Structure formats: C-alpha cells, structure tokens
Amino acid sequence: MWTKADARDVLLRRRNALTAREREYKTLQIVELLCAQEWWHRARTIHTYLSFGTEVSTAQLRECAWKAGKRILAPIVQRTSKSLLHAEITPQTVLLPDSYGIPTPQTPDNVEPHQIMDAHDCIIVPLVGFDAQLYRIGYGKGYYDRFLQHVSTKNAAKPRFVGLAYAVQYSAELLPVEEHDIRLDSIITEWGVVDVESGELLAQMQARLEGIQR
C-alpha cells in the first residue's frame, strides 16, 4: 500500500497532465451524468466546491442547479482555523480568489449546511484521487474531512456525498485510510458513475487506464 503523499503526488500529476481542452470536454460529460441522476433531481439544496486549477469545473454544475430551482451553498476556506464557513450563492454573487486561488463568495452571510440539508440533498466534494472503496484523497489540509465528519455527526439523515473526478484520478491500489476519512456515496467520472456496486465499471476503467499509460 502506498502512502497518502505518494498517492497524492501520482494522482495529481495524472490530473495535471490533461490538456485544458481534454478537461473541458470531460467536465461536460461529468456534469451531464451528474444532472441526469435521480438523486440530483430530488435534491433541493446542493453544497458544492468552487473549482480552481485543474479540478473538474463546477461552473456548469451551478448553472444546471440554478435552472432547476435549487439552492447552492459554497465553502469559504478559513486558513487560521483550518475550517470551512459556508455561504449561499446566486448567479449574482461575486467570487474572488482567496490566498489559495480558490474562488470565494464575497458575502457576509454564513449558513450551517447541517441545519439546511437533509438526505434528499447532496454535497459535491473535490478530490485528487479515489479508490474502489470510494475513499478520496484531497490536498492534505483536511478541510473536507472535518466538514464531512461534522455533517455526518450532526445530520440524522445525512446528505449524499458525491465526488467529481476524471477517470485518470482512479487508484487501482487502495488508498491509505485513517479514522477521520469519510467514504463517499458516489463519484462521477466521464466514464460513468462509481458507487458501491460498480465493480465491473472499475475493472473497465483500470483496463482502459493501463492501456493509456503503456
């Protein structure tokens, strides 16, 4: 089993190796799949990361949600406390990059997702990589680990936890898991929706990735 640092380095390099055009095309496929899911249609509130760098873009996702009349919550990184605040955003919300370069809502309002969201809703999380058990690896700061743990503790019926990733971010080797790590419910890639019953899809993904990487 590899270390989290090794996994993060390898999987981030895979993602960064995609061209801008490849990322744009794959993102469209991912968002189309996401917006076609039954649980997406049931959701009334969506909490989503605001993408930066080579992450799967969430711009189209937000447009899809607003057109369907859904509320959108977004995180605000607090570096000092290593935690996330949360704000409701609209198409009119001003987003400016923070010190990490992450688009950040310029709003004084702070909301508590666990007080608003229920089992019908979903939280869209960023990731550097994922494995067959639906564990994710992030950037190593723990912001989302703490957030998802908090929501899981506070919500009797927690929202659905969904990751967005390019297929190249799949790790055939299981990722190291620590006590604070939270398993996702679904991961959307351009090759399909990964969940606990996706053994065949994951095998196909691994075979295709091995062919690409030879």
Q: Once rounded to an integer, what is the mean pLDDT over residues 29-33?
A: 97
Identify the band that residue 214 occupies on the pLDDT scale cut at 50, 70 and 90.
Answer: very low
Q: What phi, psi does 191 have (nearest 5°)?
A: -95, -5
Nearest to 78 by CA among 110, 120, 30, 38: 110
Inform me whether the pLDDT recorded for 205 exceeds 90. Answer: no
Percent of the chain past pLDDT 70, that is, above it, reads 96
131 is catalytic: no
Question: For residue 187, what are the contacts with CB-CB under 8 A and spacing of at least 6?
Answer: 127, 130, 134, 136, 162, 163, 164, 165, 193, 194, 195
Mapping DSSP to helix (H, G, I), strand (E, B) and coil, where does residue 182 land?
Answer: coil
109 is catalytic: no
Inform me whether the pLDDT recorded for 132 exceeds 60. Answer: yes
Identify the band that residue 211 occupies on the pLDDT scale cut at 50, 70 and 90.
Answer: low
The pLDDT value recorded for residue 213 is: 59
* Catalytic position from the list 118, 145, 185, 195: 145
145 is catalytic: yes
Nearest to 167 by CA among 194, 145, 185: 194
Cβ distance 213 to 167 under 8 Å?
no
Question: For residue 35, what are the contacts with CB-CB under 8 A and spacing of at least 6?
Answer: 61, 64
* Catalytic position from the list 14, 23, 71, 136: 136
Note the pLDDT tens digit of each residue in 95-119. Answer: 999 989 999 999 877 899 989 999 9
Note the pLDDT tens digit of each residue in 146-199. Answer: 999 999 988 778 999 999 999 999 998 999 999 889 999 999 999 999 987 766
* Catalytic position from the list 181, 185, 195, 208: 181
CATH number at residue 128: 3.40.50.10420
The boundaries of the domain holding residue 142 are 4-213
How many domains are contained in the chain? 1
The pLDDT value recorded for residue 13 is: 97
